[in-house]
Structure 1
């Protein structure tokens, strides 16, 4: 697993821990009822907030000044680290757009249902990936189609 993916998972786990409290959605209650929707809204907002806080730290470090390593190897290493950090922030910028889209789906009453089949995505999948828009089966089919079109 890449460092970027691990970082995103850590940020989501932190957001989940900040929201959970004593409630965790379960299949014993009405699917996408008010309590579940509020849980996912809070989770998405907290996740977005955590990403923005991490991005603010990166911005501050960039504003502190250019890299001035006297050794060429140290400078190259620092520049590589910055490149990775900037790519991470770009991925997170795209993730924020997906989070905002999920919040809009909550407002519109479409959250938790597959955009392809209309079936419930499932509580477990949404807890693991709150921005999911497809069931596991629909996502797998989508990825197979993408792979086949790339191979052509």
Structure 2
């Protein structure tokens, strides 16, 4: 799936607010999500191939550096692996006609926010509220 162009992005941003998440916008975000998911899967394959690179020789400092590299690599793989279900969920919401609307309030999330974070499920206000609640529980 090809990534939507900047011209297409400008076109959907110029559409009237009452046309929010029309067929053209849904198609745009479907292609964007498919493209970014594909890129993510490719990057994960690359990262996993880096795990197979084994350097077993060298002094203690070389081995320590490799261990640190592996620790960071595992962390990145873990973080990126957790993104794949978010892309799948967003693609499912597009099919169900729910994409682009806050799962808590039902309000539009907004095209600008979706362009920055295509997997967003919450509007800015709902996300701020959620983060405040999470911060209170951490204290």
Q: TM-score, normalised by structure 2?
A: 0.89
1:126 and 2:111 matched: no
What residue number does 2:36 align with? 47
8 Å CA contact 1:67, 1:79 repeated in 2: no
- Aligned equivalents of 2:86 and 2:123: distance in 1? 16
Distance 1:140 1:54 in 2: 30
Q: Which residue of 1 aligns with 2:15?
A: 28
Is 1:141 aligned with 2:126? no
Indicate conservation of the 8 Å contact 1:27/1:123, yes or no. Answer: no
Superposition map of 1:3-152 within 5 A:
18-24=3-9, 25-29=12-16, 30-64=19-53, 66-151=54-139
Unaligned runs of 5+ in 1: 1-14
Residues paired across the two proteins, number = 135
Q: Deviations over 1:47-93 (max 9, x none)?
A: 111111111122223234x3324121121111111111111111111
- SS across alignment from 1:134: coil
Which segments of 5 or more consecutive residues in structure 2 lack a partner in the other structure? none
Q: Provide the aligned C-alpha RMSD in A.
A: 1.8
TM-score by length of 1: 0.82
Q: Which moved more, 1:120-129 or 1:49-58?
A: 49-58
Deviation per residue, 1:9-54 (Å, 9 max, x gap) = xxxxxx9x93225201215241101111111111111111111111
Q: Which runs of 4+ in 1 moved over 2 A?
A: 58-64
Aligned residue for 1:4?
Answer: none
